[in-house]
Amino acid sequence: MTKNNKLRAIVDSREAVSSPSIVEELKKFEIDILIDKLEFGDYYIPPFLVERKSISNFLQSIRSGQLWKQVDGMKRTENVITAILIEGSLAWVQKFRDFSISSVIGVLNSLRFEWKSELFYSPNKFWTTILLFRLAKTFQSEKEIKIHPIRTVRKDLSLPEIQRGVLEGIPLIGPSHTISLLKNGKTIRNLANMRVDELMQIKGIGENRAKKIYRVFNEVFLTPS
């Protein structure tokens, strides 16, 4: 790398607040860091757009369905290579009763082969810093890198996607619950007209979830005084 070719990266402002140690360590490698709000991803290290997830956050995002929304947004970002960086040991999966090793491996395969996203693994934040630095050094060392604003192409949502979005906005309701609700209720209107006991008859919808759904569709909105 010549003296004129400075390594560059954009760090999402929220990531910079939650993990300042990574930002400070990257600066020690003389990477020119710009803190800005990224619509998707945590680090833009041209050409990579990287989403960093601790193992617990990774599992949580699978459960909530947030992982697929994030990957979809990253894939719609122009002129980048999308990457998921998993920080921590996958052995933690064995500690969570709601996850099987097979299902997590299925998610990893989907990310790599269906979504065409790179997968990186790191045991801790220190290793993460080294990994991000090596990405920058490997892909930026031969040419002058100019950071340009990255643009995400807006997606026209289909009617089923909009319907799922309405239901997934309700606390405790994830993608699997949404599919079950729409399969049984057919329409949002039908679900909104169901009583709590009727909602509880739907697979995966216990009393707490049924009450949440009922309240969202039936309680009067009170404007703040």
Question: Alpha carbon of 213 to those of 122, 131, 177: distances in Å?
Answer: 39, 43, 11
Residue ranges of domains in the chain:
8-140, 159-218
Q: Please give the pLDDT value at position 145.
A: 54
Residue ranges in the chain whose pLDDT is less than 70? 1-5, 96-98, 141-149, 152-157, 220-225
Reported pTM: 0.68
Q: Which residues contact 184 (CB under 8 A, 6 or more apart)?
A: 201, 202, 203
Q: Tell me if the domain spanning 8-140 has CATH number 3.40.50.2300.
A: no
Structure letter (DSSP) for residue 111 = I
State residue 185's pLDDT score: 83
Do the Cβ atoms of 145 and 8 come closer than 8 Å? yes
Phi, psi of 215 (to 5 degrees): -65, -40
- Fold that domain 159-218 belongs to in CATH: DNA polymerase; domain 1 (1.10.150)
